[in-house]
């Protein structure tokens, strides 16, 4: 009978999943998946009036919950009964499909469940109902039996839940850009389904109910009962925010962090969900690719009409994007940006979750290993020993240690992609609040940064993005008058340069008005009107505390706080900010941060009796210049001609007050260093070689010293200073 096909598919799916279920190591997401399927099976059995099947499924659901919560001592016996129950459900299902009924005995099986769970109510349908009512009643009263008895399960759920919500947000933004993409809908549905299942057996009713409601909403989208609209995306985003807040509160409670009571009223959200489910009018239409390209200014209405004609007349018919590309009206990049598919990847990777402290301990121990290996290699006995086998073994040790440090260091590096995705969500929310039409383009999302920096740079980026949306991007009316596309654009870009990570935040808005900033700074007595300042110096005045050129205070910005916070946060990370702006074209803020990795490749140099380490990523060239390449130009100082370019000469011994071996550049070695946006020549006495060194903090007293970014223990046990090129450049300029 066809009405039982869905039922049988569900039972077979449960049976198939059980084959791969590891009963020794409880996997929370897998267990949640089982409970979800059993719940669905109970509902379908009830609809078909298959009471015996419903009772068996209910018993198995109760049994699995007890096993996971470790309320059954003999786990193996429990899983044995669970497996028998699956076989029994298959038997009942086959009988229902073939004969329309089942006359077999299930009472002995239900008794075996009752013995394990201690729930005698498993013996009859009426007692099950009565038991369920009692459970519901006890949950309302907050009975102790509802307390989660296994902290490790809750801890796993918190980690999984927060990851699921991040996944939901990313796919929601992708869905908004491509409303007809069913894969995006499924990618959002699955995390909600998993959260609901696990929250159910952990008795987290608020999370379970909300996840279930949002899951139902997405199911209607999958079944074409609802269309994807900005209104629907808003509701689901708000729902995921509520779930995140509840899970974060659980996390704080578990870790003993003091928090305010969580007061979340989900009634308004549920009314909005009911409203959209009932088909209440939604004035926002889902825009098509061609309309988006027109809005972005990539094509005109006439181009769009011509593209539609070409698409229809092609054999086989082309998609509008393909047609526009073939006609040369747009570039593949413009179409990709419009579809927001640039970063959409399906990744199937085995992941092991590791405690952060354990990871940091591992990095520290590998660092010590690198130091010890370096000491062994430079030991005088090893250097003077002619034993070939010993030399080979030491060389092999060095090779293994280097590979180990590279692998372990990479564990602490994470792509900036997730941070950029959070900024995309922020831009969406801010633009709606400000009544503007703003999009986001990201580049370099795979650029990796130290995990320890991720949270540190988050707040500065939030402030920068807020200002880009509120102050930078002009209103739609102003943009149209200025001949710009109606939709503004914020661009986030990340890349490595000169030993630094650079993050650029750009907008195509009004740009910074030099005269307005100067006037406001004079009014606030930050500078004198007679000060001779460069454009860069004037732009940097916006980072002064309390400085704001906003004509009015908004919920987003304009109170004079934010940019000074950005400056403090960037300086705390030993970073720099550069600003480039053109009136009516936009602004670019470049934030440069040093690579704060635990171990770096460094070039060891000697100046007098001291040794220093220069990050190899900052070195462009090593050379011994000819005497005629040296110049001392009035107003510019000492320079070296490097391949036709006059680069300033920095004498390291003068900066650190050391007696050098060589003062003449043509007798010494010149290291050409790259800073953030300039290059200079560093004078040293000798190059000692390249080595992987472990960065050690200089301590609080020397933390703010310019020109050095840390220290490292050398192979002979002495300490060498790691140089910061940009800091050296500033020191040399201040010394004249």
pLDDT digit string (tens) for 597-620? 556 678 899 999 888 998 887 888
Which CATH architecture group holds 151-277? Answer: Up-down Bundle (1.20)
Q: Is beta strand 645-651 parallel, antiparallel or unpaired with respect to 708-713?
A: unpaired
* pLDDT, tens only, 439-459: 888 888 888 887 777 777 888
Helix or strand or coil: residue 329?
coil
More confident residue, 338 or 57: 57
Strand partners, 594: 500
- Dihedral-angle region of residue 495 (phi above 0 means left; psi in -120 to 50 means alpha; beta otherwise): beta
Give yes or no for a contact between 35 and 202, defined as CB atoms under 8 angstroms apart.
no
Residue 100 pLDDT = 81
Residue 493 pLDDT = 92
Maximum mean pLDDT: which of 41-50, 335-344, 523-532: 41-50
Q: What is the pTM of this model?
A: 0.47
Give yes or no for a contact between 728 and 650, defined as CB atoms under 8 angstroms apart.
yes
Q: What angle do CA 443, 449, 450 make, to 5 degrees?
A: 165
- Asked if the model's pLDDT at residue 248 lies above 80, the reply is yes
Q: Catalytic residue, from 193, 212, 463, 471: name it.
A: 193
Catalytic site includes residue 193: yes
Which has the closest alpha carbon to 117: 68, 155, 160?
68
From residue 272, alpha-carbon distances to 217, 234, 275, 468 in Å are 11, 10, 5, 31
The third-level CATH classification (topology) of the domain covering 356-412 is Helix Hairpins (1.10.287)
Residue with tokens 């498993």: 122
Q: Catalytic residue, from 119, 160, 176, 215: name it.
A: 215
Burial (0-12, 13-18, 19+ Cβ within 10 Å), 355:
exposed
Give yes or no for a contact between 450 and 595, defined as CB atoms under 8 angstroms apart.
yes
What six digits make up the tokens of 613?
């380490």
Distance CA 189, CA 211 (A): 10
Q: What residues does each domain of the chain span? A: 2-141, 151-277, 289-339, 356-412, 415-594, 599-735
Q: What are the φ/ψ torsions at residue 262 (nearest 5 degrees)? A: -85, 115
Residue 22 pLDDT = 58
Q: Does the fold of domain 151-277 match that of domain 2-141?
A: yes
Which CATH architecture group holds 599-735? Answer: Roll (2.30)
Structure confidence at residue 344 as a pLDDT band (50, 70, 90) = very low
Query: Is the domain 415-594 a CATH 3.30.565.10 member?
Result: yes
**Residue spans of alpha helices (H) in 525-651:** 535-539, 563-572
Q: What angle do CA 517, 520, 525 make, to 5 degrees?
A: 120
Q: Catalytic residue, from 36, 181, 203, 467: name it.
A: 467
More confident residue, 736 or 177: 177
Mean pLDDT of 624-631: 90
Residue 141 pLDDT = 39
Give yes or no for a contact between 666 and 624, defined as CB atoms under 8 angstroms apart.
yes
Mean pLDDT of 282-308: 69
Maximum mean pLDDT: which of 270-284, 475-489, 492-506, 538-552: 475-489
- Asked if the model's pLDDT at residue 60 lies above 80, the reply is yes
Catalytic site includes residue 726: no
Q: Which regions of 44-86 does DSSP assign to beta strands (E)?
A: none
Pick the CATH number of 2-141 from 1.20.120, 3.40.50, 1.20.272, 2.60.40: 1.20.120
Residue 593 pLDDT = 78
* pLDDT, tens only, 674-693: 875 678 899 999 998 887 77
Structure confidence at residue 124 as a pLDDT band (50, 70, 90) = very low
- Beta-carbon contacts of residue 643 (< 8 Å; ≥ 6 apart): none
Structure confidence at residue 666 as a pLDDT band (50, 70, 90) = very high
Output the average pLDDT for the chain.
Answer: 77
Structure confidence at residue 672 as a pLDDT band (50, 70, 90) = very high
What six digits make up the tokens of 227?
């269309």
Strand partners, 441: 491
* pLDDT, tens only, 169-194: 888 877 877 787 888 888 888 788 77
Residue 21 pLDDT = 64
Catalytic site includes residue 632: no
């Amino acid at each position: 009978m066809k009405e039982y096909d869905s039922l049988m598919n569900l039972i077979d799916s449960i049976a198939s999943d059980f084959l791969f279920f590891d009963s020794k190591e409880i996997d929370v997401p897998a267990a949640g998946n089982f409970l979800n399927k059993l719940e669905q099976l109970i509902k379908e059995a009830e609809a078909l009036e298959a009471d015996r099947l419903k009772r068996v499924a209910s018993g198995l659901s109760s049994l699995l919950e007890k096993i996971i919560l470790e309320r059954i001592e003999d786990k193996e016996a429990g899983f044995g009964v669970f497996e028998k129950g699956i076989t029994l459900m298959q038997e009942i299902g086959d009988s229902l499909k073939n004969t329309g009924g089942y006359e077999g005995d299930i009472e002995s099986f239900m008794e075996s469940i009752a013995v394990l769970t201690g729930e005698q109510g498993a013996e009859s349908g009426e007692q099950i109902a009565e038991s369920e009512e009692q459970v519901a009643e006890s949950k309302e009263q907050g009975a102790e039996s509802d307390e989660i008895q296994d902290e490790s399960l809750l801890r796993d759920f918190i980690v999984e839940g927060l990851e699921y919500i991040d996944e939901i947000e990313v796919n929601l933004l992708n869905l908004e850009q491509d409303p007809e993409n069913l894969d995006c809908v499924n990618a959002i549905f699955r995390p909600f389904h998993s959260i609901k299942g696990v929250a159910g057996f952990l008795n987290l009713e608020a999370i379970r109910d909300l996840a279930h409601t949002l899951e139902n909403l997405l199911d209607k989208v999958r079944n074409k009962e609802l269309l994807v609209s900005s209104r629907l995306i808003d509701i689901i985003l708000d729902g995921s925010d509520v779930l995140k807040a509840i899970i974060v509160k659980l996390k704080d409670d578990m870790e003993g962090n003091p928090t305010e009571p969580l007061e979340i009223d989900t009634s308004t959200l549920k009314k909005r969900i009911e409203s959209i489910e009932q088909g209440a009018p939604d004035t926002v239409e889902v825009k098509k690719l061609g309309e988006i390209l027109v809005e972005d200014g990539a094509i005109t209405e006439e181009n769009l009409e011509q593209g539609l004609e070409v698409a229809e007349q092609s054999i086989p018919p082309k998609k509008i994007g393909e047609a526009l590309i073939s006609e040369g009206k747009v570039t593949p990049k413009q179409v990709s940006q419009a579809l927001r598919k640039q970063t959409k990847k399906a990744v199937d990777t085995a992941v092991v979750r590791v405690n952060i402290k354990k990871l940091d301990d591992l990095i520290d121990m590998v660092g010590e290993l690198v130091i010890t290996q370096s000491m062994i290699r430079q030991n005088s006995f090893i250097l003077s020993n002619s034993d070939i086998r010993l030399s080979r073994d030491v060389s092999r040790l060095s090779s293994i240690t280097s590979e180990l440090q590279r692998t372990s260091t990479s564990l602490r590096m994470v792509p900036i992609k997730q941070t950029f995705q959070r900024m995309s969500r922020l831009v969406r929310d801010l633009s709606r609040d400000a009544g503007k039409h703003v999009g986001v383009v990201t580049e370099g999302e795979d650029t990796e940064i130290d995990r320890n920096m991720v949270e540190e740079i988050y707040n500065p980026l939030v402030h920068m993005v807020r200002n880009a949306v509120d102050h930078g991007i002009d209103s739609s009316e102003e943009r149209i008058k200025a001949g710009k596309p109606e939709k503004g654009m914020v661009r986030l870009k990340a890349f490595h340069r000169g030993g630094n990570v650079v993050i650029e935040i750009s907008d195509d808005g009004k740009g910074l008005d030099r005269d307005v900033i100067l006037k406001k700074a004079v009014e606030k007595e930050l500078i004198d009107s007679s000060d001779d300042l460069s454009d860069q110096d004037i732009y940097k005045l916006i980072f002064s505390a309390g400085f704001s050129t906003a004509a009015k205070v908004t919920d987003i910005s304009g109170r004079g706080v934010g940019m000074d916070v950005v400056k403090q946060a960037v300086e705390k990370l030993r970073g720099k900010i550069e600003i480039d702006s053109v009136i009516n074209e936009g602004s670019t803020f470049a934030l440069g941060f040093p690579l704060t990795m635990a171990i770096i490749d460094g070039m060891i140099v000697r100046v007098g009796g001291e040794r220093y380490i220069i990050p190899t990523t900052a070195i462009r060239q090593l050379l011994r210049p000819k005497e005629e390449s040296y110049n001392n130009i009035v107003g510019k100082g000492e320079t070296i001609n490097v391949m036709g370019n006059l680069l300033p000469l920095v004498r390291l011994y003068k900066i650190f007050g050391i007696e050098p071996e060589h003062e003449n550049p043509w007798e010494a070695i010149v290291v050409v260093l790259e800073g953030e946006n300039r290059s200079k020549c560093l004078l040293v006495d000798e190059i000692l070689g390249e080595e992987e060194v472990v960065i050690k903090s200089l301590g609080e007293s020397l933390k703010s010293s310019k020109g050095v970014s840390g220290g490292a223990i050398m192979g002979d046990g002495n300490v060498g200073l790691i140089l910061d090129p940009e800091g050296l450049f500033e020191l040399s300029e201040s010394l004249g």
